Structure formats: C-alpha cells, structure tokens
Amino acid sequence: MGILERFRESKFSKMIKKVFGKSHAKIGIYGPPNVGKTTLANRILRDWTGDIMGSVSEVPHETRRAKWKNNIRINNGGSSLTMDLVDTPGIATKIDFKEFMNMYGMDKDASRMRAKEATEGVIEAIRWLDDIDGVVLVMDATQDPFTQVNVTIIGNLEARNLPILIAANKIDAENASPATLKSAFPQHPVIPISALTGYNTENLYTMMVKEFGKKRHKKRR
C-alpha cells in the first residue's frame, strides 16, 4: 500500500473528513413493496433538487433496480445534511406472478418477467444494506406493521448501530393508523407523513438532518 492510500485509509484522514464535513451520508429508502418509497424519493428530490427518482405504480415491485442520486443537500434552519439517496426495490419474502395477473390484469409473460426481476431486486436491496449509513424505513400506515421484512431491516441496522427513521406513510388515507406504528416500534422515531400530498414532510426532513447528520461508529457485517 502506497503512502497515499495508507493515508486515505487512516483514522487521521477520517477525522479530517469529519471535521470538514466532507464525508456525507449514504441514505437508503427501504421497505416492503408498494409502501410509497419511490413516491417519497421523488418528493425529496422535487423539494431539494427538482429532479425525480423513478416511476411509481399501484402494482407492487415497480422498482426492481436500485436507483440513486448523489449530493442532495437538505437544509434545516442552521444545519444541513448532504446525502446520497438510494431508492431500493421493495423487499418481500414471497413473489407470486399470479398476483400480477389476477389482481392487476397483467398478461402471463409480463407477470412472469416482473416476478423474476422482482426477485433480483430484492437481492439487490438486501446487498445495498451493507453499503449505507442510515435508512428511512417506509411503512404503509394502513397496514399491519409487524412484517418480517420490517423486522429484518430494523434488526440488521440495529446490529450495526446505524440510524433508522420510520416514515409512517399514506396517512392521508382514511384507514391509516400511525399510532399503531408508533407503539409497534417504540425504539425508533416514527414520523407520520403523506409522500403523496407532502403532509408533514418538513418534519421528516428535520429528523433526517438530526439523525443522519450525527456521527456514529458503523459496524460492518
């Protein structure tokens, strides 16, 4: 290893980065399929860069490859956060192509193709977990929160001592129950939002700056 590389790897270099705030956080938007991850990613980008992340659909597994945008700066009063934002494919433990046919009227070939790509997307989302510094875990506030997917994502981040914000999404929907999410995950901040209408997203941004701006000791798996 040359001197330069050794320097880059050194504690001293990391300290310099910290002091000058050059290192920034890589933040993943995670969650089960169809909870509104891409809708939220698009809203964050629209609010802070004018960009968009990807397509949104009522059909689950719309996002089947991770997408990201770098150097997004979020301001909150005096402080700010610069992050690379990753929109991940929804994580599931099962994928049934017949659901795309029966519930969404897709034809057989398209359904099979979507299911196949969805399995690859899940793997990609899980692999990205090794690479991120914090997660916005999006949950659908109209649904049961104790899913294995939520538990597994939270467990992996807790084991590495990385920050998690839970976005209780779709609270504009009539049957939304953000209180259920709050009592289900008392150890992490739960922020009720509507990614669709933008309701309460300022509050999410405030929490993102606060939680993801902190320096933590990251553990590798």
Partner 1 sequence: MAKKDGGIAFNLISHQKLEHLSSSDKLKYILNEVKEGRILVLEHGLTPTEQAKLIEHTMKEINHDTFIGIEIGGYENEKVGFFQRVFGVAKKPRMTVIGPAHLLKMVHKDNDMIETTIIPGKGAS
Ligand X SMILES: Nc1nc2c(ncn2[C@@H]2O[C@H](COP(=O)(O)OP(=O)(O)OP(=O)(O)O)[C@@H](O)[C@H]2O)c(=O)[nH]1
Q: Which residues bind partner 1 (CB under 8 A)?
A: 91-97, 112, 115-116, 119-120, 122-123, 126-127, 129, 144, 146-149, 151-152, 154-156, 158-161, 184, 187, 217, 219, 221
Backbone φ and ψ of 79, nearest 5°: -105, 160
Considering beta carbons, is residue 91 or 193 the nearer one to partner 1? 91
Which of partner 1, ligand X, Mg ion, none does residue 39 bind (CB under 5 to 8 Å by kind)?
A: ligand X
Contacting residues for 190 by C-beta, under 8 A, at least 6 apart:
166, 168, 178, 181, 182
Q: Which two tokens stand for residue 82?
A: 């610069």
Considering beta carbons, is residue 5 or 58 the nearer one to ligand X? 58
Name the minimum Å distance from CB 17 to ligand X.
Answer: 32
Strand order from edge to edge, sheet including 190-192: 67-76, 79-87, 25-30, 134-140, 164-169, 190-192
Site string for Mg ion, 61-90 (x = CB under 5 A): -xx---------------------------
Residue 221 to residues 30, 87, 91, 177, Cα–Cα distance (Å): 18, 21, 19, 34
Name the minimum Å distance from CB 77 to partner 1.
Answer: 30
